[in-house]
Structure 1
Amino acid sequence: MQLSAYTTEFRTNLHIAFPVMLGQLGHVMVGFVDNLMVGQLGAAPLAAISLGNSLVFIALSLGIGFSFAITPLIAEADGSGDLEKGRSYFHHGVILCTVTGIVLFLMLLLAKPILYHLDQPPEVVDLAIPYLEIVAFSMIPLMVFQAYKQFADGLSQTKYSMYATLIANVVNIVFNYLLIYGIWIFPRLELEGAGWGTLISRFFMVWFIWEILRRKDKFRAYFVWSKKELLKSTIFKRLLALGFPTALQMFFEVAIFTGTIILAGTLGTNAQAANQIALNLASMTFMIAVGLGVTATIRVGNQKGLKNYTNLRRIAYSTFLLVFLIEAVFAIGFILLKDWMPTIYIDDVEVIVLAAQLLIIAALFQLSDGLQVVILGALRGLQDVKIPTLICFIAYWLIGFPISIYFGREEHLGSMGIWLGLLAGLSAAAALLHYRFNYLSKKLILKEKNVVVEPVA
């Protein structure tokens, strides 16, 4: 197949992905703004945000993983023109995400004492606990927002969650500024002020997306709730069958990044602050890939509903090629700007030097990180989640993390060794997930061709 068969899909891919990219960047920008403003208070508060968010990110990965089950089911129902089925998935998804948000909030509160047993600097833990308590509560509105977002994404209407996220970022910046530094009539709360800014902005996101979706003709029919179909165990089982493995996939990846935070903390406050800077920068470029991953889920899900498997494979590979090219540009940018970007966060010379070293490795794993998340999105569109979950576990925890532990010791490579483990795990995941998609898509095409050549009875 000629290259143009894939590049002709770039325009459509970007049309769907661009709002998702901006929306996902908006989520990361909440962390970026928190890091930027708190970084002005010193290395210890910056390290405390990193430590507090280490637990939040694990909870967030589980929650978002569950919500991701909504998108391929909505996309398939939309592709086959089944409004009733799509509406049922939407309603059950909202209920599931709300319950998940409450459970995650309670889990984070119960998990707080863990921070005292991770060999972290005591002053960092003391700062992190109050921040964690506030941000933990924001899991509830965030998960409700995710339900509406994934529903709209499944209908290829990705711009509305982007609007909600970007405007919520403005809300977050305003309240961060007022509450961290104690401007005007507001108290100076420092690190806790960043937590309150995040909480307020996430409640705003829920209100905004609910208000805008219910008023649009495209969505109005989905907002008709019927008591008869409100609670169906078969629908919840379908959502959980897709959502639980997806949650584990995200958990395995986010947990290894969280592991780097904990390992970096054992090397000292400066190492942990540098690790946080590099992670925050890498996560911003990763959100571009997440946007294309959602696009792959939507478009593959649509083609699955249409049972057009040849086109499904071509479209999926167009997203793989596109993310490879985009991440290659980011990789070059990280290498060229590695000495400057950390200075945006902090003026501590030692932290800046350490972060610049980590950005070299971050540049290298841009390609594999981007590819693995987009291939996972395509597999999710096929509703294939169990084997990819096993692949993620093997890549991150049997390959990547042992390398991080061994080479991340102070007597070996320190922070650089920790990130070499990330590079190995992400590269293994990308290779194995590609093998899985290649196998499944070829199998579906053979099935499609066999159906076509069968004589009509």
Structure 2
Amino acid sequence: MNFSQYTKEFSYNIKLAYPVILGMLGHTLIGIVDNYMVGNLGSTELAAVSLGNSFIFLGLSIGIGFSTAITPLIAEADAEKSDKKIRTTFHHGLLLCTILGVSLFILTVLSKQLMYFMDQPPAVVALAGPYIDWVAFSLIPVVMYQGYKQFADGLSLTKYSMYSIILANVVHVFFNYVLIYGFWIFPKLGVIGAALGTVISRIMMVVFMHYLMKHNAVMKQYFKNFTFKEIKKSIVKKIIGLGFPSAMQMLFEVTLFTAAIWLSGTLGKNSQAANQIALILASSTFMVAMGLSVTAMIRVSHSKGVSDFKNLIIVARSIFLLAIITEAFFAFIFVVFHNYLPHLFLNMNDPAQVLDNKEIIFITSKLLLIAAIFQISDGIQVVVLGALRGLQDVKIPMYITFVAYWVIGFPISFYLGKYTDLKAAGIWIGLLAGLTAAALFLYIRFARLTKKLVLENSEK
């Protein structure tokens, strides 16, 4: 194997990926800011925001998953140099994202009734209800933003979403501060203030994105003369055909991790706290793999558009290799510092917390050793999934992810977590099993598919 043919692609891969990674971290930062500012109000308020966000996060995963259908179609049309196809795909995609955002808002508000059956403290549920109503509304602008973002990504213009997220974070911090605590002419609204801060920042995110893209020399031509007469059933069906399975893939993974949080909660508050710390650390490093996944989607779509399947394989493998190297580096950090990283998230100066902190650190340090290994599996499965989306192959991967996470991963998590002494570590061994199965089966799918495409192309 000639590694240089793969490593020479690294610089372009990183150039495309880093704005996406920073944008993803910007999304995460909005949640961290909410937790930090609300945490100063008290544990009941923090629990309410956490419970509310678990509902929002499921809606968000469906919206983000669906919108990824736009990128490969735009990248392929860009490779074919078909401006008409790019414009049509963008308009159809944005319309469908808007309709989906409104649908997710309604569904999320209706689904909040489930809180009453989740055995949560009444005080937490009372605060979480109004919070969900407001933040669920933010799903409309956030899914619309995804429509813009995936369009720009498809044209390899990945920086615009990064700029919008940075600006949105500035708006979010300001409105969160003045509306949570009350300042100047603004009333003190507590948890509702946090919800309004999120809504305002997400509306501004779409406004920033629209303005930046409409005034870009390359993209402004695609913003003219939108009419509903142009909407074609065939294009709507094509985007939904790609978007629905992609949304399900993301939902299967997100619900597996949500189930892990629920399972950890049944083991006690210290197990849940340890699970949360390990999850925050693993999620942060996962953003790098997510950025590379978008890069795989863009570059594979482009190679598909020009029918250069041999280059497609080289490009995809270069991204897989880059993901393995970066995730292995993070795995090394987790192994070396597994006893020290939990300290960053705990108040080590509170004498009343000494015993709890000791147990949380002990559990988290074990979880981080497992997370070190599943970093690599998680990185591989998400970049291969990106490459498969670039090939517009989404149905079989949807079934693969369902089997990997819910037929293999969850039963192992449930059994080892509930019925063995492994407890929280057992739950994470199940996550590792599910992610490793997904990585293996998805790569086999990619290898078979690309081999077939090369053969068919050579016979022409």
Say whether the fold is shared (TM-score over 0.5). Answer: yes
Deviation per CA, 1:101-138: give whole Å up to 9, x if none: 00000101111011222234444434433322221111
- Checking the alignment, whether the CA contact within 8 Å between 1:299 and 1:381 is kept in structure 2 is yes
SS in 2 for 1:198: helix
C-alpha separation between the residues in 2 aligned to 1:156 and 1:386? 25
Q: Residue 266 of structure 1 aligns to which amino acid in structure 2?
A: T
Gaps of 5+ in 2: 348-352
Rate the CA distance shift 1:188–1:346 in 2: closer, same or farther, 3 A.
farther
Rate the CA distance shift 1:153–1:73 in 2: closer, same or farther, 3 A.
same
C-alpha separation between the residues in 2 aligned to 1:45 and 1:362? 29
SS in 2 for 1:242: helix
Q: Which residue number corresponds to residue 387 of structure 1? A: 396
RMSD: 2.0
C-alpha separation between the residues in 1 aligned to 2:108 and 2:273? 22
Q: Residue 285 of structure 1 aligns to which amino acid in structure 2?
A: T
Range moving further from structure 2, 242-251 or 163-172: 163-172
Rate the CA distance shift 1:161–1:369 in 2: closer, same or farther, 3 A.
same
Gaps of 5+ in 1: 452-457
Range moving further from structure 2, 315-324 or 364-373: 364-373
Q: Residue 327 of structure 1 aligns to which amino acid in structure 2?
A: E
Q: Which residue number corresponds to residue 10 of structure 2? A: 10
SS in 2 for 1:66: helix
Shift in Å, 1:276: 2.8
**Residue 449 (structure 2) aligned to one of 429, 440, 443:** 440
Q: Residue 417 of structure 2 aligns to which amino acid in structure 1?
A: G
Q: Which residue number corresponds to residue 316 of structure 1? A: 316
Q: Which residue number corresponds to residue 361 of structure 1? A: 370
Range moving further from structure 2, 267-276 or 282-291: 267-276
Shift in Å, 1:226: 4.3
SS in 2 for 1:218: coil
C-alpha separation between the residues in 1 aligned to 2:34 and 2:369? 24
- Checking the alignment, whether the CA contact within 8 Å between 1:40 and 1:345 is kept in structure 2 is no
Q: Residue 388 of structure 2 aligns to which amino acid in structure 1?
A: L
Shift in Å, 1:157: 0.2
C-alpha separation between the residues in 2 aligned to 1:116 and 1:228? 42
C-alpha separation between the residues in 2 aligned to 1:345 and 1:139? 29
SS in 1 for 2:106: helix
C-alpha separation between the residues in 2 aligned to 1:73 and 1:336? 42
TM-score using structure 2 length: 0.93
SS in 1 for 2:15: helix
Q: Residue 119 of structure 2 aligns to which amino acid in structure 1?
A: D
Range moving further from structure 2, 350-359 or 441-450: 350-359
Q: Which residue number corresponds to residue 374 of structure 1? A: 383
Rate the CA distance shift 1:227–1:287 in 2: closer, same or farther, 3 A.
same
**Residue 439 (structure 2) aligned to one of 418, 430, 440:** 430
1:183-262 alignment runs, 5 A limit: 183-227=183-227, 230-262=230-262
1:97-112 alignment runs, 5 A limit: 97-112=97-112
- Checking the alignment, whether the CA contact within 8 Å between 2:179 and 2:194 is kept in structure 1 is yes
Q: Which residue number corresponds to residue 128 of structure 1? A: 128
C-alpha separation between the residues in 1 aligned to 2:369 and 2:181? 34
Q: Residue 135 of structure 2 aligns to which amino acid in structure 1?
A: V
SS in 1 for 2:219: helix
Q: Residue 26 of structure 2 aligns to which amino acid in structure 1?
A: G
Q: Residue 360 of structure 1 aligns to which amino acid in structure 2?
A: L
Q: Which residue number corresponds to residue 333 of structure 1? A: 333
Q: Residue 329 of structure 1 aligns to which amino acid in structure 2?
A: F
Shift in Å, 1:41: 4.4
Q: Residue 431 of structure 1 aligns to which amino acid in structure 2?
A: L
Shift in Å, 1:175: 2.2
Q: Which residue number corresponds to residue 397 of structure 1? A: 406
Shift in Å, 1:270: 4.1
Q: Which residue number corresponds to residue 350 of structure 2? A: none
Q: Which residue number corresponds to residue 146 of structure 2? A: 146
C-alpha separation between the residues in 2 aligned to 1:175 and 1:381? 38
- Checking the alignment, whether the CA contact within 8 Å between 1:372 and 1:433 is kept in structure 2 is yes
C-alpha separation between the residues in 2 aligned to 1:77 and 1:174? 40
1:415-426 alignment runs, 5 A limit: 415-426=424-435
Rate the CA distance shift 1:98–1:21 in 2: closer, same or farther, 3 A.
same
Shift in Å, 1:55: 1.7
Rate the CA distance shift 1:336–1:42 in 2: closer, same or farther, 3 A.
farther
Deviation per CA, 1:370-423: give whole Å up to 9, x if none: 111100000000000010000000000001111121122276333222222111
Q: Residue 176 of structure 1 aligns to which amino acid in structure 2?
A: N
1:262-273 alignment runs, 5 A limit: 262-273=262-273
Q: Which residue number corresponds to residue 298 of structure 1? A: 298
SS in 2 for 1:409: helix
C-alpha separation between the residues in 2 aligned to 1:270 and 1:39? 17
Identity across matched positions, percent: 55
Shift in Å, 1:37: 2.9
Q: Which residue number corresponds to residue 178 of structure 1? A: 178
Q: Which residue number corresponds to residue 34 of structure 1? A: 34
C-alpha separation between the residues in 1 aligned to 2:307 and 2:106? 42
Shift in Å, 1:53: 1.9
Shift in Å, 1:185: 4.3
Rate the CA distance shift 1:429–1:338 in 2: closer, same or farther, 3 A.
same
Deviation per CA, 1:29-67: give whole Å up to 9, x if none: 111222233344455444433322222121111111111
Rate the CA distance shift 1:356–1:43 in 2: closer, same or farther, 3 A.
farther
Q: Which has the higher contact order (CA 8 A, sep 6+)?
A: 1
C-alpha separation between the residues in 2 aligned to 1:357 and 1:107? 38
Rate the CA distance shift 1:263–1:17 in 2: closer, same or farther, 3 A.
same
1:68-79 alignment runs, 5 A limit: 68-79=68-79
